[in-house]
Structure 1
Amino acid sequence: MEKRLMHAVQYNAYGGGPNALKQVEVPIPSPNKDEILIKMEAASINPLDWKIQKRILWPILPAKFPYIPCMDVAGEVIEVGKGVTKFKAGDKVVGLTSPFSGGGLAEFAVIKESVTALRPPEISASEFAGLPVAGITALQALSQSIGIKLDGSGERKNILVTAASGGVGHYAVQLAKLGNAHVTATCGARNIEFVKSLGADEVIDYRTPEGAALKSPSGKKYDAVIHCANEFPWSVFEPNLSMNAKVVDMSPTFGSVISFALKKLTFPKKQLVPWFLLPNCRDLQYLVDLVKQGKLRTIIDSKYPLTKAADGWAKSIDGHATGKIIFEFE
């Protein structure tokens, strides 16, 4: 019997940017063991999505073409595969598609039970669609790498968040404040008041001399840096760091991994740490619960229908979105 079709957006080869995204009709996928089929309500784009298209993770990703991009998804469970015990048809959920198979920019998507969380139906899907990649990245960097206790019970630390108005950055500021940190943040001049509204104690325009030097206005040394901006040389970070500080690089490159190894030799107490996302349902559910409790906000820069996916793709590549770019499905 012929499979039912769904509307999706895909690309057929590396490169091409937004112009390479094609609006297509493809078969609705079926969930395998431990998988869930959801009817999509919202999706979110992350820089990783268009970096995959730019061949940055070749030959690992994507596993094959054509490829339906975007991993952050939120929707309603339609069908569950064998072995699924936590979810049932009708549940509202948020989760991640596999980066190998993709699937977020489509009317239906398949996700693993192990990277899926229940979300409250009374709050819109768009409020949760930005959480999986950016939110978990910020949470894990703060709690696992830096050791911030998000209940505020730990030692107070001075944290720097670069590119604090972006996807990972705007979550990192809010989560660090829940952990009782003193937060200094960098962003462009137009976003200074916005980043202050997230709870940052000090905000620096990165285009000023102070911003370029990453100097805290109060002269504080940083115990840790959540580095979400483009690469800074170690010589810029080092004078601003306390004795045992960590710089956690949210977008590690081959060069930064090499730098990490060298810094272990030359600055054993001050560390440059490349961070790699390890998605799981526990961390995602924790973030969902924070949103439900009003303790964490997803700031939405802009929304696009699936038919305008190329416009949202271009907006993300431009690199000046405030918060998250969301795709909404009717």
Structure 2
Amino acid sequence: MIRPFLPRKFPFIPATDVAGEVVEVGSGVKNLKAGDKVVGIVSYLTGGGLAEYVVVSEKLTIKRPQEVGAAEAAALPVPGLTALYVLTHHAGLKLDGTDKQANILVTAASGGVGHYAVQLAKLGNAHVTATCGARNIDFVKSLGADEVLDYKTPEGATLKSPSGKKYDVVIHCANSIPFSTFELNLSENGKVIDITPRPSAIWTYAVKNLTMSKKQFVPLFLIQKLAENLKYLVNLVKEGKVKTVIDSKYSLSKAEDAWPAKSIDGHATGKIIVEP
């Protein structure tokens, strides 16, 4: 059981990411003890992170180094793991910078997953094009993006790289963009990874597979190696190679205010934190 700091996720997904201090452990716990500073993930299915105390599995909890604060750690698990998994598993990117340069597009790059995706992609020596609103262009550039498009402009709506590059991988963190728009801008074997797939995404995925298209559309449903990859991410934060950007903080008693304020309308820059 830990007393957590809590990031707020989408309104239809219970809060799952927590960081804090262990106050009690079960008899089967081997590697954690009361007083340990930790970061972990509550059940994806049931959530339960919006509470003063939460119960988490040892398998989904890691120790947090003192250099990484509770708030920045609490924002990291699901969005950070999503970005990392897409880049390393689906894009096949090596984050040590030894790979041949890939061209990557990140949509909604100022949001939770997007702001981590830009930073991780740059660690992998990728050329990153990103989309966001006009007010966040300088912010996304500060994360390392090579090109930034205002999604509300005609140029941004087409998703064309200003330098004319074709994308090898798209990390799609936004909504309501048809695959046909991406397809025009993909390299010969390019792929779009949709991190928030809707029913139409399943149809597109099926059609592309049935027609054996070289250009792929992949709905993301599962992230693997959670604890192992979370430890890797926390170390990147500790080393200053990746940063968590916190949009705003709310007390637990005002948690409901965090949702309509920015989470529901999708205008948060980075992550929203709920703290005891």
Question: Per the shorter chain, which TM-score range?
Answer: over 0.9
Distance 1:249 1:100, change over 3 A: closer
Does the residue aligned with 2:55 lie in a helix, a strand or coil? strand
1:292-322 deviation line (CA, Å, top 9, x unaligned): 0000111000000001101112120021000
User: 1:325 and 2:272 equivalent?
Assistant: yes
The alpha carbon displacement at 1:266 in A equals: 3.1
- How far apart, in 1, do the equivalents of 2:183 and 2:212 lie? 9
User: 1:283 and 2:244 equivalent?
Assistant: no
- Are the equivalent residues in 2 in contact too, given 1:133–1:277 (CA < 8 A)? no
Within the candidate set 236, 239, 256, 1:310 is matched to 256
User: 1:141 and 2:86 equivalent?
Assistant: yes
1:133-165 deviation line (CA, Å, top 9, x unaligned): 100000000000110101111221000000000
Letter of the structure 2 residue corresponding to residue 51 of structure 1: F
- Are the equivalent residues in 1 in contact too, given 2:68–2:234 (CA < 8 A)? no
- How far apart, in 2, do the equivalents of 1:156 and 1:256 lie? 28
Query: Structure 1: any 5+ residue segments left out of the alignment?
Result: 1-36, 53-68
Letter of the structure 1 residue corresponding to residue 209 of structure 2: K
Equivalence for 1:62? none
**Which stretch shifts more, 115-124 or 70-79?**
115-124
- How far apart, in 2, do the equivalents of 1:147 and 1:304 lie? 37
Query: Structure 2: any 5+ residue segments left out of the alignment?
Result: none
Identity of aligned residues (%): 64
User: 1:51 and 2:7 equivalent?
Assistant: no
- How far apart, in 1, do the equivalents of 2:275 and 2:160 lie? 39
- Are the equivalent residues in 2 in contact too, given 1:159–1:223 (CA < 8 A)? yes
Equivalence for 1:25? none
Equivalence for 2:165? 220
Asked which structure has the greater CA Rg, the reply is: 1
- Are the equivalent residues in 1 in contact too, given 2:110–2:132 (CA < 8 A)? yes
The alpha carbon displacement at 1:93 in A equals: 0.5
Does the residue aligned with 1:108 lie in a helix, a strand or coil? coil
- How far apart, in 2, do the equivalents of 1:100 and 1:273 lie? 22
- How far apart, in 1, do the equivalents of 2:16 and 2:87 lie? 22
- Are the equivalent residues in 1 in contact too, given 2:67–2:238 (CA < 8 A)? no
User: 1:209 and 2:176 equivalent?
Assistant: no
1:68-122 deviation line (CA, Å, top 9, x unaligned): x311100111111232222111111111111333221111001111111211124
- How far apart, in 1, do the equivalents of 2:16 and 2:58 lie? 14
Equivalence for 2:195? 250
Within the candidate set 42, 53, 69, 1:108 is matched to 53
Please report the RMSD computed on the Cα atoms of aligned residues, expressed in angstroms. 1.2
Alignment of 1:166-205 (within 5 A): 166-205=111-150
Equivalenced residue count is: 274
- How far apart, in 2, do the equivalents of 1:240 and 1:101 lie? 38
The alpha carbon displacement at 1:268 in A equals: 1.9
User: 1:261 and 2:206 equivalent?
Assistant: yes
- Are the equivalent residues in 1 in contact too, given 2:108–2:131 (CA < 8 A)? yes
- Are the equivalent residues in 2 in contact too, given 1:136–1:277 (CA < 8 A)? no
Equivalence for 2:3? 39
Does the residue aligned with 2:40 lie in a helix, a strand or coil? strand
Letter of the structure 2 residue corresponding to residue 306 of structure 1: L
Does the residue aligned with 1:152 lie in a helix, a strand or coil? coil
Letter of the structure 2 residue corresponding to residue 299 of structure 1: V
Letter of the structure 2 residue corresponding to residue 147 of structure 1: G
- Are the equivalent residues in 1 in contact too, given 2:107–2:130 (CA < 8 A)? yes
